[in-house]
Amino acid sequence: MSAIEVDYRFPTGVDAHKQAQVIALGQTVGTWNADFDHRQAAFAQHMGQVLSVATHEGGDHTATVQFPVANVEGDIASLLTMIFGKYSMAGAAKVTAVRLPQSYGLRPHLGIAGIRERLGVYERPLVMAIFKPALGLCAADHAALLQQVATAGLDVIKDDEILGDLATAPTLERLRACRPVLETIQQQTGRTVLYAVNVTGRADQLLERARVLVREGANALLLNVLTYGFSVLAALASDPDIDVPIFAHPALAGALCGAPDHGLAYSVVLGTLMAHGGADAVLYPAHYGSLPFAAAEEARIREELRSRHLFPVPSAGIHPGMVPRVLADYGNEVILNAGTGIMDHPDGPGAGVCAFFEALERAIPGQALIANQLPDGPLKRAIAKWGV
């Protein structure tokens, strides 16, 4: 593909043919008068084209508009400005798909293969935890929690997205408190545990802060991509001094994607744009989790990410009883991410991790675990609390 194709959905009552033409012209060349008629050949190289308009059952429409790659800078920011910038304020319309050339944007620096290589884990899903409570813990508290879950076999832990560089537990202090735990686990067991540190700050400070964190031993980073911007993600992903996986968090996605007839589809923002934006792994809601989310959108996100070898991380309300469903949907190429589902286990966070590993050993994809057929232990206790 040498051009960019975008699908726009218009609700019943909107003249989709007219609006598609408005987008094709208004989001590219715009209008001109007779003074510039001699430049029409140049304008034609930049003008969008309406490829098709389809009417669906129910009366809504999907228009596909093609844009020249020459109109953008190869990044996500200029892409969004072109395909939906000013027009996003023009009324009801939703971007439901964006098809980009494979060369567009960035590929993950590490992605699935690189993260697995760093961990030395190749044949199973990865298990990931979130520090909970999200706020109010000191750096020593984080280290104590990490000790419990890392000893139990955890692969990845991340800061909560809400936790920034706050006075109660500054980011560098958290890392310095947790690093000896990571080093001890490595020395004693040979295992690597990734700690995705939440990198925050003003744009002119964030990149250097990320470099400092990596120099201080951070082996992964978490970024709230939609609040800090795709350009920040690209800068982190392109920096040779930041040789660690970047986990992208979906904070703010609902504001961009949640309305039925406005904004962009979740699969565009958390799938296509993240896949071309430089992330290595992307968090998003699982449709059977604690947030309302469509199974079809989740599937599209998964396939978009995997098409460019990013790790999918279905999240929000994941607990051990859900493992058979996740395996049925994802197989082994997935990160099982749990906050409450690990940290609030009745027998403690370490038991929460053990419950996930026991579920991975016992689960048959798509078949619910049955509590009374399980031996006493972490998994049975987890299912007694959270169900299946």
Active site positions, annotated = 86
How many residues are listed for the chain in this entry? 388
Torsion-angle region of 81 (φ positive above 0: left; ψ -120 to 50: alpha; else: beta): alpha
Amino acid at 127: V
Measured torsion, CA atoms of residues 20, 4, 49, 83, in degrees rounded to the nearest 10: 40
Cα–Cα distance for residue pair 79/184, rounded to 1 Å: 45
Per-residue b or e along 244-256, where b marks 16 or more CB atoms closer than 10 Å to that residue's CB? bbbbbbbbebbeb
Cα–Cα distance for residue pair 111/181, rounded to 1 Å: 25
DSSP for 338-353 reads ESHHHHT-TT-HHHHH
Taken in order 379, 383, 386, 387, the sign of the CA dihedral is: positive
Cα–Cα distance for residue pair 354/324, rounded to 1 Å: 16
**Apex 193 CA angle, 192 and 194, nearest 5:** 115
- The counts of H helices and E strands in the chain are 17, 13
